[in-house]
Amino acid sequence: MLDPEAREKARVHGEAEAAATRALQQSASTSASTSPPPPPPTFGIAGDPAEAERCRELVSKALDRDEKVHTLREALTKLGVATGNMVHCEHCPDGLAAAGGYVPSERRVVLCQQWAMKMPTELSNTLAHELVRRASNQQCRGSTEPCFE
**What integer pLDDT is reported at residue 56 of this predicted model?**
94
Domain membership of residue 47 (yes or no) is: yes
pLDDT at 36: 66
User: Any idea what the CATH number is for the domain that residue 107 is in?
Assistant: 3.30.2010
pLDDT value of position 149: 39
User: Tell me, what's the pLDDT at 129?
Assistant: 93
Domain span at 125 = 41-140
| Per-residue model confidence (pLDDT) at position 37 | 59
* 115 Cα distance to chain centroid: 13
Domain count for the chain, please give it.
1
b vs e for 39-77, b when ≥16 Cβ sit within 10 Å of the residue's Cβ? eeeebeeebeeebbebbbebbeebbeebebbeebbebbe
Regions of the chain with pLDDT less than 70: 1-46, 141-149
Q: Is 84 a domain residue?
A: yes
pTM exceeding the 0.75 threshold for the entire prediction: no
Is residue 21 in a domain?
no
